[in-house]
Chain A
Amino acid sequence: MAIYSAGRRRTMIILLLSSVLLITLDLRGNAVFNAARSGFEYALRPFEIAGDVITRPVSRMWHGMTDIDELEQENQRLQEQLDAQRSDQIAAQNALIENRDLRALLDLESLAAFDRVTASIIGSSPSNFDQRVEIDRGSLDGIRVGMPVINSAGLVGKITNVFPETAIVMLATDPQYHVPVKVVAEVRATPTTSVPDTVPSGLAVSDVTTTTSTTTTSTTSTSTTTTTTTTIPRPVDGAGNPIDPNLQGPPGATTSTSSTTTTTAVEMVEVTRETGELNGFGADRLPRVRFIADSPQFGRVAEGDAVLTAGGSLSLAPPDIPVGKVANVIQRAGTAGLELEVELNADLNRLIFLTVILYVPPTEAPALR
């Protein structure tokens, strides 16, 4: 039998053209195809449930064999992280309350203002080229295409397909995922030492010799313990004669005083913002932020800086959803600017429950009404 024949070639051309036609119609948006997807979803559901029940022991056995060492190591690492973060949690809660109050005062948009739908994951993408999961909530719960999806750690992805009772979430590691983000960096100004104009005796500081022996500075508040050795000159009149020899000690007398002063907000903290676009690079690689300007006037982006969604009228995500932190800063040649690798807060390999924020960009809101 020949590899090439007219009938075979005709069959292949018909199939290829049919595929191209279907792709074209689907990408342009087609109600019939959407209905077919929903219908097929319903038809496939019993097969999936049966398959899940039957194969669960097999998949558990597989995970039991392959994941045990990794899980033990991860458990130990997480325990250490938990210990380290307990103290940070109290400060973070306080900051959250302050932030919420200030936003309310300024009438700013915040995440708490949007309705949410909590969903659980019922499936993952069977493709090696997609980073997507399926959730058990759909259009009947108010979910629409494009809505951001988060978990308790931060941004997870966005909705790409919606069926009546289920929806597909594109994870932030998917190569097709894009979202505007901002990089927030804390810049600590050099601590300034304020020297009083006079010493407690009323003399000008310039008239005494002061040696500061110990200074301790903390981040949020400053506690200064100062041991001062002061050499005080005898008061003199205009001609240089002593005014009252009994008032002060002998010339060159030395007194030692020790005082502890606790002040707040002595250290200046500024916030630097850079905006760019986060997009995924696959499951095994960190997402990257592109279009970052490497401009020293805005401050250098550094590893460990926080990455949040930028929001904006055209963004599908509201502002200030925690995304992750900068893991690597990649310098690119010429005017290409910086590229940042971002370590996501959310562990996308261990998702169970997700929250869909029912957010619609202001530019699209009128169309839905």
Chain B
Amino acid sequence: MLGALLTSSLTRVIPIGMMLLALQKTLFVELQPFGVIIQIVLAFAAAAGAAGGPERGAITGFALGIMFDLAVGSPLGSTSITMGIAGYVAGWVDLIRIETTWWLAALFVGVGAGIGEACVPVVRRFIGEEDAFVPEMAKIVPVVAIAAAASSVLLVPLARWALKLERPEWKMPADG
């Protein structure tokens, strides 16, 4: 299943990941609400989880993390863990409800991205970096999570297309 997932989705995930990485390195390092860099690639990993479930989310996060590490120069595999966790956690939305509403997907994308971002210093400490925990964590994690939740309106459909998933019938809050 792992191999099938990789081959079926990576042809679309990689180009989208490249574009999001380019946006991450240009636009989102400039726009810093409250001094925090919005993590759009991480949000996409979480959106992949919300769209396709924990396994697809984890695999997409793993692939995006490898690309992120290659582009940024951080130890290869370190961001794969955090993005994989983000995708996996966001994918739980598929497990607790069959018909996902947009706001529930947004909530899980936010939670997944927040947990993924919070895991970054944990992984860095694990690989031996000193002073990995910064005092601004209390500000970084919520801002990243809220931004990811807000961007999920665009990213979840994009992830669904990238993972070649069928479009579900979205339920608006008014529909109950």
Q: Which one, A18, A33, A40, contacts B71 given CB within 8 A?
A: A40
Is A1 interfacial (CB 8 A cutoff)? yes
CB <8 Å contact, A15 and B59: yes
Per the CB 8 Å criterion, the residue count for chain B at the interface is 61
User: How far, in Å, is B94 (CB) from chain A's closest CB?
Assistant: 7
Is A188 interfacial (CB 8 A cutoff)? no
B67: chain A residues within 8 A (beta carbon):
40
CB <8 Å contact, B23 and A282: no
User: How far, in Å, is A346 (CB) from chain B's closest CB?
Assistant: 19
Is A100 interfacial (CB 8 A cutoff)? no
Is A50 interfacial (CB 8 A cutoff)? yes
Best-buried of B41, B77, B84 by chain A (most CB within 10 Å): B77
CB <8 Å contact, A33 and B76: yes
Is A220 interfacial (CB 8 A cutoff)? no
Beyond A47-B18, A55-B23, whether A127 also contacts B72 by CB under 8 A is yes
Is B73 interfacial (CB 8 A cutoff)? yes
CB <8 Å contact, B54 and A129: no
User: How far, in Å, is A314 (CB) from chain B's closest CB?
Assistant: 18
Q: Which one, B25, B36, B54, B124, contacts A48 given CB within 8 A?
A: B25
Instruction: Scan B39-72; emit 1 where CB is below 8 A from any A CB, else 0.
Output: 1010000000000011100110010011110111
Instruction: Scan B83-102; emit 1 where CB is below 8 A from any A CB, else 0.
Output: 01000100010110000000
Q: Which one, B2, B68, B70, B121, contacts A14 given CB within 8 A?
A: B2
Instruction: Scan A169-196; emit 1 where CB is below 8 A from any B CB, else 0.
Output: 0000001100000000000000000000
28 contacts between A and B (CB under 8 A): A1-B95, A3-B95, A11-B1, A11-B59, A15-B59, A15-B80, A18-B80, A19-B65, A19-B81, A21-B77, A23-B77, A47-B22, A48-B25, A48-B26, A51-B22, A62-B31, A126-B39, A126-B68, A126-B72, A127-B74, A127-B120, A129-B121, A130-B74, A132-B72, A161-B73, A176-B130, A279-B130, A283-B136
Assuming A44-B21, A63-B30, A126-B28, what are 15 further A-B pairs, CB within 8 angstroms? A12-B58, A12-B88, A26-B76, A36-B70, A40-B67, A40-B70, A44-B18, A59-B31, A125-B29, A126-B37, A128-B117, A160-B73, A175-B132, A176-B130, A283-B35
